A = this chain, B = another copy of it.
Amino acid sequence: MSQHVSCNDCSLSPVCLPLAVAPAQMDQLDNIIRRGRPLKRGEHLYRASDNFESVFAVRSGAIKTYVVSPDGEEQVTGFYMPGEVLGMDGISTAHHVSNAKALETATVCEIPFSQLENLSQQIPTLQHHFFSLMSDEIRADRELHMLLSKKSADDRVASLLLSMSARHQRRGLSSHSFRLPMSRYDIANYLGLAVETVSRIFTRFQQKGWLEVSGRDIEILDRASLCGNAPDTGTVEIQL
């Protein structure tokens, strides 16, 4: 079993880290990356208070991140799909500040951060790409800020669906038909809504003929109407 797939052979390389590295230097990046065993659904990739040592790129499956407040309530802070990088919020604290849990069977590439920093000293484009990745995350959070503070429940759900659609498309998959990796509970929690509200909105969107919903399987029938709900035109890029 070739758990050691090189970045060169990985179908995600155009949307993942390697896009910042010239072929000649690919081996250097490849050498510091660790490919671990697959995570089973529900397994943790890391937990808050674990030492921060690495960031992770999702290879397959899906991961959710969440924080738990002192009074024990959970806040889902993001969903990470193949080609996306997570764990960057722990850099400044030496320990992770959130938890990361597999939503379904998932494989990840582990990138030891101190080695990545070293490599970034040698490969300026890699340094720049990492700054960009973090910048993207900040920008996505700004979008989310507006979504949570100004938009209706309908807008929030529409926006999430369009985001998932865009991220599928980025990987070369269908943008109109896909399966959500997360539960209604996670969606609601992430968007600051009650589960019941999310469920009702799904049925309403379906009644309006905008979606075909069957459990977690989604088919987008009328993207324009969904966009009308979501603030962002066309290229919704909420990276969450």
Contact = CB atoms under 8 A, between A and B. Distances in A.
A121 interface: yes
A30 interface: no
Contacts of A133: 92
A192 B70 CA distance: 23
A190 B128 CA distance: 30
A88 B136 CA distance: 9
A139 to B, nearest CB: 5
A140 B139 CA distance: 13
A192 to B, nearest CB: 3
A43 interface: no
Contacts of A130: 131
Contacts of A88: 134-135, 138
A60 interface: no
Given A92-B132, A117-B128, A148 B150 contact: no
Contacts of A73: 150
Nearest to A189: B149
